């Protein structure tokens, strides 16, 4: 009889031990699940926005009056300079490096040119030509020269060029041919020139 009671008590103890172990297991399992399900302590997310400032509206620009359009002026065509007349005593020496003006009277395919001759002991002759002012492509036409003897110094010389195109623009040029210094040859220098003129 005593043996049966001890066996029964032992059986009850085993059952209680099993029950307690299962209870602890389920308690741990449930607590872990609850801990996983519960939200963490990281806090809620926030978006920080700076409050904007009011910008003053741009003041309207005054309409004003429109700027005037630029104006262009054109210089008149240069007129030929008249041949200089001697002032004071004539020195009788050519001044090289200075180009004087010419007096030109245009005709029908001709031009009469006048210039002042100061004279010079080394002066050999003058050469007069007409320079066409119409652009020509390719080979340029040869120039025709008119030779004028200087004669007496300190006087005005006049020469006429013929065979010019009618109604065509020309410039007229006078070269002085003189003896070269320290040489047996001659040198040629332009001493007078006109502006652009049209023949009749």
DSSP characters for 43-58?
-------PPP-PPPPP
The pLDDT of residue 184: 81
pLDDT tens figures, 15-68: 455 555 544 444 454 444 444 444 445 555 656 555 655 655 555 555 555 555
pLDDT tens figures, 70-118: 443 333 333 344 455 555 568 788 888 889 999 999 999 999 999 999 9
How far, in Å, CA of 24 to CA of 97, rounded? 128
How far, in Å, CA of 10 to CA of 16, rounded? 10
pLDDT top residue among 140 and 56: 140
Q: What is the pTM of this model?
A: 0.56
Look at 93-102, 144-153, 171-180 and tell me which has the smallest mean pLDDT. Answer: 93-102
Instruction: Copy the structure tokens of residue 144.
Output: 């025709």
């Amino acid at each position: 009889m005593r043996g049966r009671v001890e066996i029964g008590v032992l059986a009850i103890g085993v059952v209680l031990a099993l029950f307690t172990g299962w209870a602890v297991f389920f308690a741990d399992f449930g607590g872990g699940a609850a801990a996983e399900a519960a939200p963490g302590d990281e806090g809620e997310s926030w978006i920080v926005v700076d409050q904007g400032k009011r910008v003053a509206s741009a003041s309207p620009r005054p309409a004003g009056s429109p700027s005037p359009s630029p104006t262009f002026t054109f210089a008149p065509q240069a007129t030929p300079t008249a041949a200089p007349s001697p002032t004071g005593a004539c020195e009788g020496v050519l001044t090289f490096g200075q180009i004087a003006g010419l007096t030109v009277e245009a005709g029908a395919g001709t031009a009469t040119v006048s210039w002042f001759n100061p004279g010079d002991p080394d002066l050999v002759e003058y050469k007069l030509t007409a320079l066409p002012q119409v652009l020509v492509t390719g080979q340029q036409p040869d120039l025709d020269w008119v030779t004028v003897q200087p004669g007496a110094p300190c006087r005005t010389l006049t020469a006429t060029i013929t065979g010019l195109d009618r109604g065509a623009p020309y410039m007229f040029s006078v070269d002085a041919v003189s003896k070269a210094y320290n040489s047996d040859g001659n040198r040629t220098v332009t001493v007078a020139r006109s502006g652009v003129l049209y023949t009749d």
